[in-house]
Every structure is written in C-alpha cells, then in structure tokens.
Amino acid sequence: MDTIIFGNGRLGRAIADAFRDRGIEPRLLGRPTAGGHPPAALTGADLVVDATRAEAVRPSVEVALAAGVRRFVIATTGWDADREHIERALERHGAAAVAAPNLSLGAAVFLRLVEQAGNLFERVDGFEPYVLEWHRREKRDRPSGTARELVRRLRTIAVDDVAVIRAGSSPGMHLVGFDAPGETIELRLTARDRSAYAAGAIAAADWLTAEPRAAGLHPFDVIVDDLLSRSPQLPLAATA
C-alpha cells in the first residue's frame, strides 16, 4: 500500500514506525518549502495520513484530492473552522476520511465511560463535573481536541471551563472529575507515548482499505464499534 504521511513531527514519525512494523514503508513528508506539496509527488498514493498543523490540513487534503488520493486519516487537531469545507471537498471527489482528535482505542473507550458517568452523575444531586488536560509546552491548541470532545459528551460544562496545563513533555493527560461536598470521583487517561495514537491510525487505515466507504468524514467511533463488534469478550455498546 502506497502510504504518504504529511508531517514528520512526533506523531508522524510514530505513525511511520507503526506502518514499518507491518512491513509498509511510508513516504514521510515534512513541511513543503513553498507553495505546498507538488501534486505530482502524491500521485498514486492509496492513503494519506495527516499529522501536521491545523492550518496545513485544508491545503494538504485539497492537493492530495487533486492528485487522486481517495483515503485519508486526519490525525491533526484544531482545524474545526475548515471542517465543513473539507467535508464538502471529500464528498465532491468521492473520498473518505477518518478524522479524530484522539486516535487511541483506549481513549475512545475512555470517552464512552466519561459520557456514561456524566449521564449517571447528572441524575445525582450535588455533583459537578470538571475537566483538566496536560500536554507538553509546545502543543498549540488549547484546550486539546480530546478535552473539547470530553466537554461535548459531558454536555453540562463549557470549553472555557477546561483547566489547561502546558508544561514539560507530556504526550497527553486528561482528567475528568465529578465533585460533591463529601466525595470526588475521577477518571484519568494518561498517554505514555504516541504508540496508542499510531495504532489507532493503523486501525483507521485498515478500515478505510477493507472495503469502499461512503464519501465524507467518518468519526473514529465507527472504527471502534467495528473492532468491538468483532470482540465478543468486550460487550461494550456505542453511546455516542
């Protein structure tokens, strides 16, 4: 499978390693010098994984579409303002993309646990939810895409309420608590490295190549549902 990874930073390199572990040598492309990636350099690719920066996603997807690429995994976060435009472009070209602010399978299950916890605590008097996230100092978007998704699923708090730490080299920690006068319940997701994100990117690539998928953007939950449905020991149902 001819695979291109846009972005040769921490995540792009981790995803490249995961592809190599499966015997696929991807083309790992860093920031282009000027005027974007030349379409000729992308022709023939079966799949593009984007692990760049928010502002690069739209031009990168557009040039890859023009070069004939029809499968995308968009790992980059913070490009919500371009979401509608990108979705329309994918649909026009009959292309499918999996896009997720957090590609870790553990995080996907964590999001479902948080959603269920939120539903339960909403029905118990006196509990107030909170969200805290900690990432390495250089991470640009704040709060993180995962924190935004946690807020969306909790429903009762706003993005502005998220406590954000930018310090050191943490690849990602998210803490969700439910606090009442006499007790606190906490759910915590801690990434130790980027391997879980890379494994999710591979799972998304497998899902895209297994059979033709509908044009447009697909959430990572679809892949999680697919994996869980094939694991009878894990009778978890989607709640999104």
Ligand X SMILES: NC(=O)c1ccc[n+]([C@@H]2O[C@H](COP(=O)([O-])OP(=O)(O)OC[C@H]3O[C@@H](n4cnc5c(N)ncnc54)[C@H](OP(=O)(O)O)[C@@H]3O)[C@@H](O)[C@H]2O)c1
Stretch that binds ligand X, among 24-32, 119-127, 176-184, 206-214 (CB under 6 A): 24-32
Active site residue 37: no
Stretch that binds ligand X, among 26-34, 153-161, 181-189, 211-219 (CB under 6 A): 26-34
| Integer Cα distance of 152 and 15 in angstroms | 27
Q: Is 60 in the site for ligand X (CB under 6 A)?
A: yes
Considering only residues 91-130, where is the footprint of ligand X by CB under 6 A? 100-103
Active-site pick, 37, 135, 174, 218: 135
| Integer Cα distance of 234 and 194 in angstroms | 24
| Integer Cα distance of 107 and 196 in angstroms | 9
Is the peptide bond preceding residue 143 cis, with omega within 30 degrees of 0?
yes
CB of 183 to ligand X, least distance (A): 32
Q: Which residues contact 28 (CB under 8 A, 6 or more apart)?
A: 5, 8, 12, 13, 16
Active-site pick, 85, 93, 139, 218: 139
Number of chain positions touching ligand X (CB under 6 A): 26
Pick the binder of ligand X from 16, 69, 77, 134 (CB under 6 A): 77
CB of 233 to ligand X, least distance (A): 25
CB of 200 to ligand X, least distance (A): 6
CA dihedral 14, 51, 10, 135 (to 10 degrees): -120
| Integer Cα distance of 80 and 195 in angstroms | 25
By beta-carbon proximity to ligand X, the closer residue of 136 and 185 is: 136
Nearest to 136 by CA among 32, 7, 9: 9
By beta-carbon proximity to ligand X, the closer residue of 32 and 177 is: 32
Q: Is 10 in the site for ligand X (CB under 6 A)?
A: yes
Q: For the chain, list the strands marked E by DSSP.
A: 3-6, 27-29, 47-50, 71-74, 96-99, 128-135, 163-166, 173-180, 183-190, 216-219
Q: Is 25 exposed, middle or buried (0-12, 13-18, 19+ CB in 10 A)?
A: exposed
For ligand X, the nearest residue by Cβ is 9
Active site residue 85: no
* Cα distance between the two ends of the chain: 32
Q: Is 8 in the site for ligand X (CB under 6 A)?
A: yes
Stretch that binds ligand X, among 41-49, 69-77, 88-96, 205-213 (CB under 6 A): 69-77
Pick the binder of ligand X from 3, 4, 16, 53 (CB under 6 A): 53
Active site residue ranges: 135, 139
Q: Which residues bind ligand X (CB under 6 A)?
A: 6-12, 29-32, 51-53, 56, 60, 75-78, 100-103, 141, 197
